[in-house]
Amino acid sequence: MASFSLGKYVPFKTPIHKMDPRVKVAALIFLMVAVFLSYGSYTMTFTVMGALALLILILMLVSKTSILKFLKSLKSLWFMIIFLLIIYIVMPRTTGSLTPAFQIKGYQFYWESFLDAGRILLRLVMMIALSMILTSTTAPLDLTFALEWYMTPFKLIGFPAHIIAMTISLALRFIPTILEDVDRIMKAQTSRGVDFEHGGFFKKIKAIISMIIPLFVSAFVRSDELANAMECRGYDPNGKRTRYKKLSFRVGDFFALLFVACVLAGSIYITASGFDLYALLGVSVL
Amino acid sequence: MSIVFSNVFHTYGLKSPFAFNALDDVNLTLEEGKFIAIVGRTGSGKSTLVQHMNALLKPTQGKVVINEWINSSDKKERTKKLAGLRKDVGMVFQFPEYQLFEDSVIKDVAFGPMNFGVKEKEATEFAKEALSRVGLDESFYERSPFQLSGGEKRKVAIAGILAMSPKILVVDEPTAGLDPQASKEMMSLFRTVLESGTTIILVSHDMDIVAEYADEVIVMESGQVKKQCKPEELFGIALQEYSLDKPHTYAFAESLRQKGIDIQSKSLKNVNELALAIKEKLNG
């Protein structure tokens, strides 16, 4: 299960690791919005997106997020990426002007399709990079605390934010445990001659069944034991809970928030005003 | 079938902040036909060590040679097809009852041999034989493994490995969580398996069992083999340095010695030998 490395928390001590998880969640959302806005002309779009990509790259370097792991996680998405690119290139958009590029067997391709495909690819890559920065610098529990904090206002209308948060944190807590189970069961069945990597369709199905059934059995046993243990320690879903770790908002967090808010405000301004640096300078590229 | 470890390292989480040497330059030769116990505290690398014996884990450095099979860190050197190795080195994991999945006991036990290409009819024969060896009679054949008690489940799981007729049987903590009677039965089962010519490699924390059954003990500590010797030699010396307990028989003899009764016996495998040693001392 070594492939499950996407966004796993890595305990370094960088400024980004030390940030308040609530600020990190907000920053992620702000930057994501900036990534997904459209910026008028293609030149302007790619300029702004290039700037954002540079910012994300700097963030990755500062937070010591492994670029290698990032590329690996992209590798596992190659199918989706190729699918998207083909859709964009084969089916040109119907609005706006199109510049013919070339023809293959009478089928017309347009330059704009390639640019659109490139834009969506860039957005996707940046989105993955951003979420990876968040998850690799924030411990899962801190992340759930942040989510719970954001859900607090909904408590007023009777939304069980703390129960949801507990469920999420339990689920997150058990991901590594279940992966360990998977590993253990796979090894046990491999010892009994099951081959998880080779073999035809039916052999693979049988191999997977030999793993899934024991996995379910142990997951149910575990959840039963967990429920009992929580009950024995007096867990009351509706009780008021205190925190071992208090979230704290520091000066650095304020500046970080201010910075991403400025980035977002800037990008919204560019979108809304149709600001075009190249038109202003009188240069035309495309 | 002998197993030879040469300069084996195994590092978990290589090139990450979690990197940890579970095996640290292990050199070891395990001879065939013996009952070999591997002891050491939790986290000393016992389980990692045994998983190299049927190539579930690959060394990050060094190589393990198991007869004609080579499990090496070097891909070119490593034997390509490892299925035969898995058949010859049967591995019973800790709490093996969690690997059961078929809808009947007999099918689950026959699952192993069938994976190694034995025909269904023959595999069922092997399964019946293995089940009778672990002491489960015909009434169990068609029952669901999930209806059985914990001890019975474990027997089924062990039968599942025995049905593959391995030449080396590796068992990890087979008596954990069993009552004393059941652990005794379990251990005498392994003794009969040994007598039929299978090498037994046992990972255990229970020094009484090690003293009674093992021909040879390997002491592991922080990923290294600290000692390989006969059990009486290990239990004769100060065990504290490996943070291991003395078996009850040796502890009793030690206690007698402190009270002034020195028993002249090297081997105290079980209560019987202890009683004999005391009798000898009393008589003369």
* Same-domain status, B19 and B120: yes
Long-range Cβ contact pairs of B122-129 (< 8 A, separation 24 or more): B123/B163, B126/B163, B126/B164, B126/B165, B127/B159, B127/B163, B129/B163
Q: Which amino acid is at B20?
A: F
Q: Which of B53, B120, B129 is nearest to B86 (CA)?
A: B53
Q: Which two tokens stand for residue A215?
A: 């996995």
* Same-domain status, B116 and B167: yes
Extended strands (E) in A49-174: 100-104, 107-110
217-246 of A, contacting B, C-beta below 8 A? 217-218
What residues make up the domain containing B268?
Answer: 247-284
* Same-domain status, B51 and B115: yes
d(CA B136, CA B156): 8
Q: Which two tokens stand for residue A86?
A: 């083909």
Interface of B with A (CB under 8 A): 16-17, 51, 54, 56, 83, 86-87, 90-91, 93, 96, 98-101, 111-112, 115-116, 146, 160-161, 164
Q: Which two tokens stand for residue B246?
A: 């003395």
The pLDDT assigned to A7 comes to 62
Per cent of chain A over pLDDT 90 is 30
The verdict on a CB contact (< 8 Å) between B91 and A185 is no
| Distant-in-sequence, close-in-space partners of A142: CB < 8 Å, separation ≥ 6 | A21, A245, A247
What backbone torsions phi and psi does residue A113 show, to the nearest 5 degrees? -60, -45
CATH code for position B234: 3.40.50.300
Cβ-based contacts of A185 with chain B (< 8 Å):
98-99
The verdict on a CB contact (< 8 Å) between A12 and B17 is yes
The verdict on a CB contact (< 8 Å) between A193 and B87 is yes
Cβ-based contacts of A187 with chain B (< 8 Å):
51, 56, 91, 93
The verdict on a CB contact (< 8 Å) between A213 and B99 is no
What backbone torsions phi and psi does residue B141 show, to the nearest 5 degrees? -50, -50
How would you classify the pairing of strands B35-39 and B216-221? parallel
The verdict on a CB contact (< 8 Å) between A11 and B17 is yes
Per-residue confidence at B1, pLDDT binned at 50, 70, 90?
low
Structurally, how many domains does chain B consist of? Answer: 2
pTM given for the model: 0.73
* Same-domain status, B56 and B102: yes
Which of A181, A188, A218 is opposite residue B96, by nearest beta carbon?
A188
Q: No. of H helices and E strands in chain B?
A: 10, 10
Count of CB atoms within 10 A of residue B127's CB? 27
How would you classify the pairing of strands B35-39 and B89-92? unpaired
Count of CB atoms within 10 A of residue A193's CB? 19
DSSP characters over B186-225: HHHHHHHHHHTT-EEEEE-S-HHHHHHH-SEEEEEETTEE
* Same-domain status, B197 and B275: no
The pLDDT assigned to A4 comes to 44
Average pLDDT over residues B15-44: 88
* Same-domain status, B119 and B95: yes
Cβ-based contacts of A10 with chain B (< 8 Å):
16-17
* Same-domain status, B83 and B67: yes
Q: What is the ipTM of this complex?
A: 0.86
Q: Provide the 8-state DSSP code for B179.
A: -
More confident residue, B165 or A240: B165
Q: Which of B124, B129, B132 is nearest to B107 (CA)?
A: B124
* Same-domain status, B207 and B78: yes
Query: Between A and B, how many CB-CB pairs are < 8 A?
Result: 57
d(CA B31, CA A156): 71
Q: Provide the 8-state DSSP code for A64.
A: T
The pLDDT assigned to B75 comes to 84
The verdict on a CB contact (< 8 Å) between A185 and B99 is yes
The pLDDT assigned to B239 comes to 67
Handedness of CA B127, B128, B130, B135 (dihedral sign): positive
Q: Which two tokens stand for residue B71?
A: 């499990």
* Same-domain status, B64 and B165: yes
* Same-domain status, B132 and B235: yes
Nearest CA in chain A to B112: A192
pLDDT in tens, A232-261: 998 888 877 777 777 788 899 999 999 999
The pLDDT assigned to B240 comes to 67
d(CA B191, CA B186): 9
The verdict on a CB contact (< 8 Å) between B93 and A188 is yes
Q: Which of A187, A159, A259 is nearest to B86 (CA)?
A: A187
The verdict on a CB contact (< 8 Å) between A214 and B90 is no
Listed by start position, the domains of chain A span: 15-138+247-281, 177-232
The verdict on a CB contact (< 8 Å) between B16 and A10 is yes
pLDDT in tens, A162-220: 888 888 888 878 888 898 899 999 999 999 988 888 878 888 888 899 999 999 999 99
* Same-domain status, B125 and B187: yes
